[in-house]
Amino acid sequence: MTAAPDCLFCKIVAGDIPAEVVHTTESTVAFRDINPQAPLHVLVVPRDHEPDAAASAAADAAMFAEIATTARAVATGEGYDDYRLVFNTGAGVGQTVFHTHCHVLAGRAMTWPPG
Ligand code: 5GP
Ligand code: ZN
């Protein structure tokens, strides 16, 4: 699967919907979340549409690894050595966009367990 019709993040990847893109790689696009939950809140998405993290990992393991290295590049590039990565998977835990995305959060104290 590459792009899905009516998928918000596929449209951002294609440039059809504007976003503040901060980093791109061959397989990923990173852009600022429209509703940031921390001073740094970027979403790293694969260019190829899959509905969630496990589906992306199964489809292309190397691409999935690129999400993690891209997330680190984004965080360290903005001066954060410590950051939190979140893949909400399923509506029951808050996934609202069903195109794989990694939340990169940094810049404030964070609690554990998460809410
Ligand atoms: P989820 O809840 O699925 O884990 O995360 C989806 C994220 O996408 C949310 O944090 C939400 O703020 C963000 N988001 C939703 N629509 C847009 C948009 O049009 N542009 C950007 N940049 N982020 C969006
Ligand atoms: Zn998509």
The pTM of this model reads 0.98
Whether the per-residue pLDDT at 18 is higher than 80: the answer is yes
Tell me the pLDDT tens digit for each residue of 69-102. 999 999 999 999 999 999 999 999 999 999 999 9
Q: In a mutational test of the pocket of ligand 1, which residue from 11, 84, 97 has the highest number of ligand atoms less than 8 Å from its CB?
A: 97
User: Which atom of ligand 1 is nearest the CA belonging to 8?
Assistant: 19
What mean pLDDT do residues 21-47 have? 98
CA 106 / ligand 1 centre spacing (Å) = 17
42 sits in which H/E element = strand 40-46
Contacts of 90 (CB under 8 A, 6+ apart): 52
CA 101 / ligand 2 centre spacing (Å) = 10
Return the structure tokens found at 60.
Answer: 């292309």
The 28-32 sheet, strands edge to edge: 21-24, 28-32, 40-46, 102-106, 84-86
What's the pLDDT score for residue 75?
98
| C-alpha to C-alpha distance for 83 and 70, rounded to whole angstroms | 13
DSSP helix/strand/coil, 110: coil
**Where does the pLDDT of residue 63 fall: very low under 50, low under 70, confident under 90, or very high at 90 and above?**
very high
